[in-house]
Chain A
Amino acid sequence: MSDRMLEEPWTLSPSVALRPEPFGALAYHFGNRKLTFLKRPELVEVVRLLEQHPRLSGALEAAGIPPDQHEAYAAALRALAETDMIRPRHQEAV
């Protein structure tokens, strides 16, 4: 069964800044002051591409993530959504 998240539109939260680091990036949320480390450059790329794609799977493809890893990436992104690093795009106006 494929993850529903893959079909949804997502975006980097507007309160989050990404700072490039040798291992990937550091994401800082100015609202809840949470600091998160994105440990793979590929994940950073996906997060950056989110808003340009109508579906998460599109961003994953654009970042060159092989299809058999999409589920794993969805799980990692879900964890980022828990602290509002990324959010579903329909919430943008909130």
Chain B
Amino acid sequence: MTIAPERPITPQARPAGGSLVEQFEFGLDAPICLTWELTYACNLECAHCLSSSGRRDPRELSTEQCKAVIDELQRMQIFYVNIGGGEPTIRPDFWELVEYAVDHQVGVKFSTNGFRITPERAEFLASTDYVDVQISLDGATAEVNDRVRGAGSYDTALKALANLRDAGFSDAKISVVCTRENIGQLDDFKAIADEYGATLRLTRLRPSGRGADVWDELHPTPAQQRELYDWLMAHGDNVLTGDSFFHLAAYGESLPGLNLCGAGRVVCLIDPVGDVYACPFAIHDQFLAGNLLGEGGFQEVWQSSDLFTELRSPQTGGACTKCQFFDACRGGCMAAKFFTGLPLDGPDPECVQGYGETALAGDRLVPPASKDHSRSQASRNAPVLLNLGATRRRPVSACNEDPLAGGDLS
């Protein structure tokens, strides 16, 4: 089944010269933004988890298999990798793998909720080059954060940041998923980052994984999107965004960054069992390019899989190409469209011209989740929102394709 937005019938040849974006549309020999989720196991169960993490997958790559992957990344000259999960530090071999990567010229940035960043670990991290740490925090107050991430998670994150600062680790990252509940706290997040000598990183809430269950409630309102855009225009120089918000470029000025959907072109995800997806926000059979345990390894999946080949051409059709902001916005995020059941060549669900709202109000079929590692029973500290989301979805079995199944009937 074809998933990519409309492409030219005869494949276009890569242009000589031209802008980087034009080049990136045709893909690279190796990704520049590779995320590797080491495990689906997690001590938390955030309501909006993009990878629906919770339980370890028994087929998880072994230590030896992970090292072989690192060897291949080194051969392909992939100079750094974003490690995540799940909670990656849960793996008993986590620190061993980080050291192995760094010793093989693959720098590491890892994302954690912070619960294993003890003073001793912080010392170790402060003593190594090439390892970057990113602590997740989704509220500038415990109240806002814990509602999404679970009781106690705010304190855990701040403790980790304090341990890092006290050990002399400079420039940790604080990663915030921007939601309806925390957009009003942007200045407070910045203040926290300054207090801990950290850099703030803001990313977009996408309806991926369990995020699909809470997206309606949590995604920023149009007025908040404007607020976020204005805030980024004013403070953007010292704040990272992972190129999350290029759909906001249609407000006028482009934000710094690539401004294109890099999925399968410059971005991809390796999941804990070695499956390769087009993007960390697209863990779904539709965006699965292959598995790196196959004969050709990761390189073959990246360079020759059908899915990635298909994604590597400029979009030529669809409603967005007629929009005056298309050059900057490019129709927004493929994953956000897919998981809200919108056509991939149409506007983003959060299109700042308002076309997304119209599209969301029309006929659409939200795809059922195809991967879920959530715990079957929520734990005592589970976030309030997780239970709300789960209740809404519980009566629907995972394979129910009825368009009305799981729809909001209220």
Contacts and interface: CB of A to CB of B under 8 A. Distances in A.
Contact of A30 (B16, B17, B26, B79): B79
Contacts of B166: none
A19 interface: yes
Interface string A19-49: 1111100101010010101011000000000
A33 B14 contact: no
A19 B29 contact: yes
Contacts of B14: 22-23
A40 B32 CA distance: 18
**Main SS at interface, chain A:** strand
Contacts of A21: 23, 28-29
A37 B79 contact: no
Contacts of A65: none
Given A19-B77, A40-B17, A33 B107 contact: yes
Contacts of B105: 17, 30
A23 B265 CA distance: 14
Interface in B28-78: 28-30, 32, 77
Contact of A20 (B17, B29, B32, B80): B29
Contacts of A37: 20
Interface in A28-78: 28, 30, 33, 35, 37, 39-40
Given A35-B32, A40-B17, A28 B23 contact: no
Contacts of B107: 30, 33
Given A33-B107, A39-B23, A26 B17 contact: no
Interface size class of A (residues with CB under 8 A): 10 to 19
A78 to B, nearest CB: 20
Nearest to A20: B29
A22 B29 contact: yes
Nearest to B29: A21
Contacts of A22: 14, 23, 26, 28-29
B79 A17 contact: yes
Given A21-B29, A22-B26, A30-B105, A39 B79 contact: no
Nearest to A41: B16
Interface of A: 17, 19-23, 26, 28, 30, 33, 35, 37, 39-40
Interface of B: 14, 16-17, 20, 23, 26, 28-30, 32, 77, 79-80, 105, 107, 130
8 contacts: A17-B79, A19-B77, A19-B79, A22-B14, A22-B29, A26-B28, A30-B130, A39-B23
